Amino acid sequence: QLPHLYDEILNHPNTSDELRRTTESKLLRLKQRLLNALPAAQKAKVAAELDELVSGMVLLGIRDELAWTLFIENKDAEHIGMSP
């Protein structure tokens, strides 16, 4: 229920950028907690949603430490310009 409400805020045309960023950060943390709590068999869908949210936040250059941490942790060293 709560993720749906966050999505409603994010998709509303009159949502301010500040509220949108705050809501995205809250949704990111909620989905990460949900992913950690779910049994392995149910994680694929939430993991895909989390990856999509993280990618969007990084693409837009949103300053959210968790989003950037998750983004970097999911990349191979050669994709971020480092050698193993």
pLDDT at site 32: 96
**Residue with structure tokens 């998709």?**
11
Q: Phi/psi zone of residue 25: left (φ > 0), alpha (ψ -120 to 50 degrees), beta?
A: alpha
Residue-level pLDDT, tens digit, the chain, 84 residues: 898 999 999 999 999 999 999 999 999 999 999 999 999 999 999 999 999 999 999 999 999 999 999 999 888 766 555 545
Per-residue pLDDT, 19: 96
Q: What is the pLDDT of residue 1?
A: 87
Catalogue the E-assigned strands of the chain. Answer: none
50: which 2 tokens?
A: 């989390």
Domain hosting residue 65, numbered range? 2-80
How many distinct structural domains can be found in the chain? 1
Note whether 35 and 47 are within 8 A (CB): yes
Q: What is the model's pTM?
A: 0.82
Cα separation, 63 vs 58, whole angstroms: 8
